[in-house]
């Protein structure tokens, strides 16, 4: 089965986007176990913080926010937060995603972040949500 690390912004986007949008399709596919979602406590903490921002706070009740986080915790292959040995990206705050993907033997990191997407030679590669949907045969 395909293993993917999906970044916080893509997961949160999937929760508020129209059903046919690639982030929403990907989130539905994760819930249907179409692929193995690799996550760690740091990703869940980032999602929790993101959902408390005003944009999302008006779209989700506190129980809906908690439910989304718990759903992701239950369906993801949860790994410990990875140690980051070196800085590989322009934005070192994203290095943990690369380390998590490598530790979890993911085939790709799904993100809309240019620091990840534009990094040549990133292993595993970073891809957009649409490319992940195509990889999984969802579009």
Q: Give the domain extent around 129.
A: 3-135
Q: What is the pLDDT of residues 112-123, one digit of tens each?
A: 998 889 888 889
Q: What is the DSSP letter of 31?
A: H
Spatial distance between the Cα atoms of 29 and 101, rounded to a whole number of angstroms: 19
CATH of the domain at 77: 3.40.50.1010
Spatial distance between the Cα atoms of 120 and 139, rounded to a whole number of angstroms: 26
**How far, CA to CA in Å, does 66 sit from each of 4, 48, 59, 70, 122?**
23, 8, 13, 6, 33
Cis peptide before 124 (omega within 30 of 0): yes
**CA–CA–CA angle 66, 69, 75 (5° rounding):** 135
- φ/ψ (deg, to 5) at 133: -60, -40
Spatial distance between the Cα atoms of 127 and 88, rounded to a whole number of angstroms: 17
β-partners of residue 36 are 3
Rg for the chain, CA atoms, rounded: 14
**Residue 57: partners with Cβ closer than 8 Å, 6 or more residues away:** 51
Query: Above pLDDT 70, what percent of the chain?
Result: 94
User: Is the pTM value of this prediction over 0.75?
Assistant: yes
Count the domains in the chain.
Answer: 1
pLDDT grade, residue 80 (50/70/90)? very high
pLDDT grade, residue 62 (50/70/90)? very high
Spatial distance between the Cα atoms of 42 and 3, rounded to a whole number of angstroms: 18
What pLDDT score was predicted for residue 76? 97
């Amino acid at each position: 089965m395909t293993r993917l690390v999906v970044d916080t912004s893509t997961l949160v986007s999937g929760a508020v986007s129209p059903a046919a949008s690639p982030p929403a399709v990907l989130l539905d596919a994760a819930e249907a176990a179409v692929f193995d979602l690799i996550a760690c406590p740091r990703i869940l903490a980032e999602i929790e913080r993101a959902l408390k921002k005003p944009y999302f706070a008006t779209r989700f009740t506190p129980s809906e926010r908690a439910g989304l986080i718990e759903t992701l915790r239950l369906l993801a292959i949860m790994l410990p937060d990875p140690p980051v040995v070196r800085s590989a990206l322009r934005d070192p705050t994203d290095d943990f995603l690369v380390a998590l993907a490598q530790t979890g033997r993911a085939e790709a990191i799904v993100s809309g972040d240019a620091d990840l997407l534009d990094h040549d030679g990133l292993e595993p590669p970073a891809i957009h949500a649409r490319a992940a949907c195509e990889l999984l045969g969802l579009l």
